[in-house]
C-alpha cells in the first residue's frame, strides 16, 4: 500500500478553517464599507441601522413570518438556478421567467372560472409552465442555432417585462376595470378564497403554504441532483460536456431540460408570489428573480446553504421597511446586499488562488530537486 | 416638417448615451468580456458627473468625474473577474444592484445643484434645411462621439494592442502561449468600456437633463449589449443599432403627441427581440469565439 502524497492531503482539515476565516474576513470588510457609508453620509449610526433591520426581520414572530414570506420566491428561484448551474448553463433570466410565470398564473386565475380547489393548483401549474416556456425559447435557440444561453436569457428578461406590461394594459387579458376614468396597469385582486392558505395566527407567526412547498422542493432538488442518475449526468455535463457526450448523455435533452426546468422553478416562484404575497399582476420589476439567481451562485450549488441564504435575503427585504425610522434611505439595503454578494464571491476565488500558488511551489521545488540531482546516464 | 425635426432631434439625444457606451463595450467584447455591468457604469457616470459639477462648479470637471466613476466600476469588475476568477456575470449583476442602490441612497442624502452643458451651433451646417438644427445644434458633449468612434475602431483594428486584445477574445489559450497577458488585456478593454460608458452616463444626466433622477438610465445599459449583438460585433453596426434603438424610443415618445397610436410595449421590447433575431439568423461570424468565457492558465 502506498501512502498518500502528503502535499495533497495534509491541508484537508486546514481548508475548512481557512474558508471560515476567509468568509468572516470578506463579510467583515463588506459590513465595514457599508458602515463607513452610513457614518459619512447620514446622521445615523451603523448600530441603529442593524437594530432597525433586526426589528423588521427577526424580532417578533410576525416579523419572522414576514421574512419567510419574502424569502420564499427567492428560495424557489434559487433552487431552479442551482439545477441550471449544475449543468454548466448560466440562466441569467429568472427575472423574466418569474414575470412571465406571474402573468400566466394570472391569466388562469382571472380567465378561468371554477372552485378554488381547481383554479389555485392550475394557477401554479400555469405559472410554472409559463416560466418553462420562456426559458424554452433560449433552450430552443441554443439547440437549433447554437445561440449563447447567457445572451438570450439576459435579453429575454426585458422582453418579458414588456409582455407582462402588455397583458396588464389590455382589458381582454389582465387589466382590471375599476370604473374610474383611467385604470392603473394592473390585474384585479385575487379573491380571498383563491389565495394560498396561511398557517399560524394572523397577528403572530404567520406563513403561507408556499413556504412549505418551497421546502419540499428543496428536499426534492437535493435528492435529484445528488442521489439520482439524472443528477450525476447533470454534473458530468457541467464539468465536461465532451466526456458526458462520450458517456452517452444527450446534451440537448439534458442541458435544455435543465434550462427549461430552472425556468419552471422561476415561473412557479412567480405563481407563489402572486397567490400568496402580491395578489395582483403588475408590470413592476420585483427583483426576486435576480436575487434568487445570486443566492444560488453564492451558495455554490449546495441546497443546505441555499435555504439560510435565501432567508437572509428575505430578512434584508423585510428589515428594509424599518430603516425609514432611522433616517437612513432604505436603499441602504440594496447596497448591503450587493456588498455581501461581492464579499461572498471572494473566499472560494482566493482559496483557489492560494491552492494554485501552493501547487506551483510544489512543482518548482520538485524541479529544483531534479536539477540538483546527478544526471542519469542514458 | 416640425415633427420630423423633433423626432430627429430626440433620436440624437437618445442614441448618444448608447453610442458612447457601445464604443467601450465593443472594445471589451472584442477582448472576450461579455460585460453586463454597463448599467452600473452609466448610473455611476450620470450621478457622479452631476455631483462633480455641483461640487466643482464646472461642467467639464463634472464630465471628467463621471468618466472616472464609470472607470471605477469597471476597475472593480475587471479585477474581480479578470484578476481573481469570480464569475463575470454575477459580478456584473451585483454591480448593477450596488450602483442603483448607491446612487439612490446618495441622491437622498446629498442634493446636487443643477448644471448643464452648453448648447452649441455648428456654423454653416446648422443652416441646412430640416436636418440642420437637430443634428448640428446640440449640447457640446455629443460631438465627442465624432473623434471617439474612429479612435475605438483604430485601437481595436489598427494597433498592436488591438491585435492582442482580439486574440484574447478569439483564442485566449493561443494568445497566452504567445506571451500575451490575457487577463491584463481584458482588464484594459473593460477600463476603456468604463471610461466611455461613464461619459455616456454623464452625457445623459449632465449633458441633457442637468439633473440626476432616480434610476434615470432605466435599463439603457442592456440596450447597449443588444446593440453590440445587433451590429454583429462590428463597431459601425453597433453604432447603427444605437441609432435605430434611439430612434425607436424617440418615435415611441413623439408619435402619441402628434396623434398616432403606438403600442409602447412592442416598441420597448423591439430592440431586444431584434438582437435575439439577429443573433439567431445572421450576424454570427463576428462573435468573438471566447466571448464570456473566463481565462485561467492551465484550465481549458
Those residues whose C-beta lies under 8 Å from the C-beta of residue A210, and which sit 6 or more positions away, are: A72, A196, A272, A275, A276
A298 and A164 share a domain? Answer: yes
pLDDT for residue B283 is more than 70: no
The answer to the question of residue A368 being in a domain is no
The answer to the question of residue A210 being in a domain is yes
What gap in Å lies between CA A81 and CA A87, rounded to an integer? 10
pLDDT under 50: residue ranges of chain A: 1-11
The answer to the question of residue B294 being in a domain is no
The answer to the question of residue A56 being in a domain is no
CA distance B108 to chain A (A): 7
DSSP output for B163-184: HHHHHHHH-HHHHHHTT--HHH
Cell of B10: 430626440
What gap in Å lies between CA B89 and CA B18, rounded to an integer? 20
Nearest to B265 among A154, A166, A342 (CB): A166
What CATH number does residue A103 fall under? Answer: 1.10.3470
> What is the structure's pLDDT at A375?
60
Nearest to A335 among B34, B90, B102 (CB): B102
CA distance B97 to chain A (A): 6
- The average pLDDT across B50-64 equals 90
B-chain residues near A157 (CB < 8 A): 222
What are the phi and psi torsion angles at B290 (to 5°)? -100, 25
> What is the structure's pLDDT at A137?
94
What gap in Å lies between CA A132 and CA A334, rounded to an integer? 29
Please state, in angstroms and as integers, the Cα–Cα distance from residue A37 to each residue in A53, B45, B105, following that order. 16, 19, 10
What letter would DSSP give residue A188? P
> Are residues A339 and B266, on separate chains, in Cβ contact within 8 Å?
no
Identify the closest residue of chain A to B300 by CA–CA distance: A240
What gap in Å lies between CA A45 and CA A28, rounded to an integer? 17
Last residue of a domain, one of A323, A343, A371: A323
What gap in Å lies between CA A267 and CA A126, rounded to an integer? 8
Higher pLDDT, A366 or B155: B155
Interface test with B, best of A39, A158, A323, A340 (most B CBs within 10 A): A158
The whole domain housing A314 covers 61-323
Residues in chain A: 378
A295 and A349 share a domain? Answer: no
B97 touches chain A (CB under 8 A): yes
- The average pLDDT across B124-137 equals 74
The answer to the question of residue B291 being in a domain is no
Angle made by CA atoms A227, A231, A233, in degrees to the nearest 5: 130
> Are residues B94 and A294, on separate chains, in Cβ contact within 8 Å?
yes
What gap in Å lies between CA B58 and CA B66, rounded to an integer? 12
The answer to the question of residue B257 being in a domain is yes
Q: Cβ of A79: how many Cβ atoms within 10 Å?
A: 29
Identify the closest residue of chain B to A167 by CA–CA distance: B265
CA distance B242 to chain A (A): 16
The answer to the question of residue A375 being in a domain is no
> What is the structure's pLDDT at B132?
76
DSSP output for A110-158: HHS-S-HHHHHHHHHHHHHHHHHHHHHHHHHHHHHH---HHHHHHHHHH
Identify the closest residue of chain A to B298 by CA–CA distance: A356
- CA torsion, points B200, B105, B62, B126, in degrees to nearest 10? 50
A26 and A152 share a domain? Answer: no
The answer to the question of residue B288 being in a domain is no
The whole domain housing B230 covers 2-281
CA distance A37 to chain B (A): 9
A79 and A212 share a domain? Answer: yes
> Are residues A148 and B106, on separate chains, in Cβ contact within 8 Å?
no
Range 280-309 of A in CB contact (< 8 A) with B? 287, 290, 293-294, 297-298
Cβ atoms B170, B289 nearer than 8 A: yes
A133 and A23 share a domain? Answer: no
Range 91-120 of A in CB contact (< 8 A) with B? 92
> What is the structure's pLDDT at A310?
94
The answer to the question of residue A303 being in a domain is yes
Nearest to B90 among A294, A329, A353 (CB): A294
What gap in Å lies between CA A121 and CA B127, rounded to an integer? 66
Cβ atoms A72, A317 nearer than 8 A: no
A207 and A346 share a domain? Answer: no
A-chain residues near B276 (CB < 8 A): 141, 147, 151-152, 155-156, 159
Identify the closest residue of chain A to B299 by CA–CA distance: A356
Interface test with A, best of B75, B108, B224 (most A CBs within 10 A): B108
The answer to the question of residue A1 being in a domain is no
- What are residue B138's DSSP bridge partners? B120
Cell of A302: 449546495
> Are residues A158 and B269, on separate chains, in Cβ contact within 8 Å?
yes
> Are residues A156 and B272, on separate chains, in Cβ contact within 8 Å?
yes
Please state, in angstroms and as integers, the Cα–Cα distance from residue B66 to each residue in A15, A109, A338, B61, following that order. 42, 48, 21, 9
How many Cβ contacts (< 8 angstroms) between chains A and B? Answer: 130
B-chain residues near A338 (CB < 8 A): 94-95, 97-98, 101
- What are residue A199's DSSP bridge partners? A207
A154 touches chain B (CB under 8 A): yes
A121 and A231 share a domain? Answer: yes
A313 and A235 share a domain? Answer: yes
Please state, in angstroms and as integers, the Cα–Cα distance from residue A236 to each residue in A2, A253, B197, B209, following that order. 29, 14, 39, 53
> Are residues B272 and A145, on separate chains, in Cβ contact within 8 Å?
no
The answer to the question of residue A88 being in a domain is yes
Q: How confident is the model at residue B76 (pLDDT cuts 50, 70, 90)?
A: very high
Nearest to A345 among B36, B86, B97 (CB): B86
What CATH number does residue B119 fall under? Answer: 1.10.3470
Cβ atoms B92, B37 nearer than 8 A: yes
B80 touches chain A (CB under 8 A): yes
Range 67-96 of A in CB contact (< 8 A) with B? 90, 92
> What is the structure's pLDDT at A90?
86
> Are residues B94 and A42, on separate chains, in Cβ contact within 8 Å?
no
pLDDT for residue B277 is more than 80: yes
3-state secondary structure of A200: strand
The answer to the question of residue A372 being in a domain is no
User: Whose CA is closest to A8, among A366, A301, A350, A345?
Assistant: A366
Higher pLDDT, B274 or A370: B274
| Total number of domains in chain A | 2
The answer to the question of residue B201 being in a domain is yes
- Residue holding cell 468604463? B194
Those residues whose C-beta lies under 8 Å from the C-beta of residue A153, and which sit 6 or more positions away, are: A90, A91, A92, A93, A96, A135, A138
A282 and A337 share a domain? Answer: no
3-state secondary structure of A371: helix
| Total number of domains in chain B | 1
CA distance A347 to chain B (A): 10
A327 touches chain B (CB under 8 A): no
- The average pLDDT across B210-215 equals 86
Residues in chain B: 300
For chain B, give the percent of residues with pLDDT over 70: 97
A41 touches chain B (CB under 8 A): yes
What gap in Å lies between CA A282 and CA B115, rounded to an integer? 36
A65 and A181 share a domain? Answer: yes
CA distance A275 to chain B (A): 25
pTM: 0.89
Q: Per mean pLDDT, which range of A83-97, A233-247, B142-156, B221-235 is the poorest? A: A233-247
> Are residues A141 and B87, on separate chains, in Cβ contact within 8 Å?
no
Q: How far is CA A159 from the centre of its chain?
A: 20
What gap in Å lies between CA A67 and CA B153, rounded to an integer? 51
A282 and A345 share a domain? Answer: no
Helix (H) or strand (E) holding B138, with range, is: strand B137-139
Higher pLDDT, B1 or B220: B220
A19 and A153 share a domain? Answer: no
Amino acid at each position: 500500500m502506498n501512502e498518500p502524497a502528503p502535499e495533497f492531503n495534509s491541508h484537508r482539515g486546514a481548508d475548512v478553517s481557512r474558508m471560515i476565516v476567509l468568509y468572516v474576513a470578506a463579510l467583515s470588510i463588506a459590513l465595514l464599507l457599508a458602515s463607513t457609508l452610513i457614518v459619512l453620509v447620514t446622521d445615523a449610526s451603523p448600530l441603529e441601522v442593524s437594530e432597525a433591520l433586526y426589528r423588521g426581520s427577526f424580532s417578533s414572530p410576525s416579523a419572522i413570518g414576514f421574512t419567510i414570506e419574502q424569502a420564499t420566491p427567492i428560495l424557489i428561484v434559487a433552487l431552479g438556478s442551482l439545477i441550471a448551474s449544475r449543468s454548466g448553463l448560466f440562466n441569467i433570466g429568472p427575472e423574466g421567467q418569474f414575470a412571465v410565470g406571474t402573468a400566466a398564473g394570472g391569466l388562469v386565475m382571472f380567465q378561468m372560472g371554477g372552485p378554488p380547489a381547481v383554479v389555485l393548483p392550475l394557477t401554479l401549474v400555469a405559472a410554472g409552465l409559463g416560466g418553462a416556456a420562456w426559458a424554452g425559447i433560449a433552450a430552443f435557440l441554443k439547440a437549433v442555432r447554437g445561440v449563447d444561453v447567457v445572451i438570450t436569457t439576459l435579453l429575454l428578461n426585458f422582453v418579458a417585462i414588456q409582455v407582462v406590461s402588455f397583458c396588464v394594459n389590455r382589458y381582454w387579458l389582465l387589466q382590471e376595470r375599476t370604473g374610474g376614468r383611467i385604470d392603473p396597469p394592473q390585474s384585479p385582486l385575487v379573491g380571498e378564497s383563491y389565495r394560498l392558505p396561511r398557517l399560524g395566527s394572523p397577528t403572530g407567526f404567520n406563513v403561507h403554504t408556499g413556504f412549505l412547498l418551497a421546502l419540499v422542493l428543496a428536499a426534492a432538488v437535493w435528492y435529484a441532483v445528488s442521489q439520482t442518475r439524472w443528477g450525476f449526468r447533470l454534473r458530468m455535463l457541467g464539468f465536461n460536456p465532451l466526456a458526458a457526450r462520450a458517456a452517452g448523455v444527450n446534451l440537448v435533452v439534458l442541458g435544455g431540460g435543465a434550462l427549461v426546468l430552472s425556468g419552471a422553478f422561476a415561473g412557479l416562484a412567480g405563481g407563489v408570489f402572486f397567490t400568496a404575497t402580491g395578489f395582483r399582476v403588475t408590470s413592476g420589476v420585483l427583483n426576486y428573480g435576480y436575487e434568487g439567481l445570486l443566492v444560488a451562485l453564492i451558495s455554490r450549488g449546495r441546497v443546505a446553504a441555499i435555504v439560510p441564504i435565501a432567508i437572509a435575503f428575505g430578512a434584508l427585504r423585510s428589515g428594509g421597511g424599518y430603516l425609514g425610522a432611522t433616517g437612513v434611505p432604505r436603499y441602504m439595503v440594496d447596497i448591503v446586499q450587493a456588498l455581501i454578494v461581492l464579499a461572498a464571491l471572494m473566499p472560494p476565488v482566493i482559496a483557489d488562488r492560494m491552492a494554485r500558488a501552493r501547487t506551483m511551489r510544489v512543482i518548482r521545488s520538485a524541479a529544483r530537486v531534479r536539477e540538483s540531482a546527478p544526471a542519469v546516464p542514458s | 416638417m416640425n415633427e420630423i425635426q423633433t423626432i430627429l432631434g430626440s433620436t440624437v439625444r437618445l442614441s448618444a448615451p448608447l453610442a458612447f457606451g457601445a464604443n467601450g463595450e465593443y472594445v471589451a467584447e472584442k477582448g472576450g468580456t461579455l460585460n453586463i455591468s454597463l448599467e452600473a457604469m452609466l448610473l455611476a457616470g450620470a450621478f457622479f458627473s452631476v455631483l462633480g459639477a455641483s461640487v466643482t462648479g464646472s461642467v467639464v470637471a463634472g464630465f471628467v468625474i463621471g468618466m472616472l466613476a464609470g472607470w471605477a466600476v469597471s476597475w472593480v469588475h475587471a479585477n474581480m473577474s479578470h484578476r481573481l476568477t469570480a464569475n463575470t456575470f454575477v459580478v456584473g449583476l451585483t454591480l448593477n444592484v450596488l450602483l442603483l442602490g448607491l446612487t439612490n441612497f446618495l441622491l437622498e442624502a446629498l442634493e446636487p445643484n443643477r448644471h448643464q452643458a452648453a448648447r452649441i451651433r455648428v456654423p454653416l451646417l446648422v443652416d441646412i434645411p430640416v436636418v440642420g438644427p437637430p443634428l448640428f445644434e446640440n449640447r457640446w458633449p455629443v460631438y465627442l462621439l465624432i473623434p471617439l468612434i474612429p479612435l475605438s475602431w483604430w485601437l481595436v483594428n489598427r494597433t498592436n494592442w488591438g491585435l492582442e486584445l482580439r486574440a484574447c477574445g478569439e483564442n485566449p489559450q493561443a494568445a497566452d502561449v504567445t506571451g500575451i497577458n490575457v487577463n491584463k488585456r481584458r482588464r484594459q478593454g473593460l477600463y476603456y468600456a468604463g471610461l466611455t460608458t461613464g461619459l455616456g452616463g454623464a452625457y445623459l444626466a449632465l449633458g441633457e437633463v442637468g439633473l440626476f433622477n432616480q434610476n434615470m438610465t432605466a435599463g439603457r445599459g442592456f440596450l447597449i449589449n443588444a446593440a453590440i449583438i445587433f451590429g454583429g460585433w462590428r463597431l459601425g453596426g453597433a453604432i447603427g443599432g444605437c441609432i435605430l434603438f434611439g430612434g425607436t424610443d424617440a418615435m415611441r415618445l413623439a408619435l402619441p403627441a402628434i396623434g398616432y397610436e403606438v403600442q409602447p410595449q412592442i416598441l420597448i421590447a423591439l430592440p431586444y427581440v431584434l438582437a435575439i433575431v439577429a443573433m439567431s439568423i445572421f450576424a454570427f461570424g463576428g462573435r468573438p469565439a471566447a466571448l464570456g468565457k473566463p481565462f485561467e492558465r492551465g484550465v481549458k
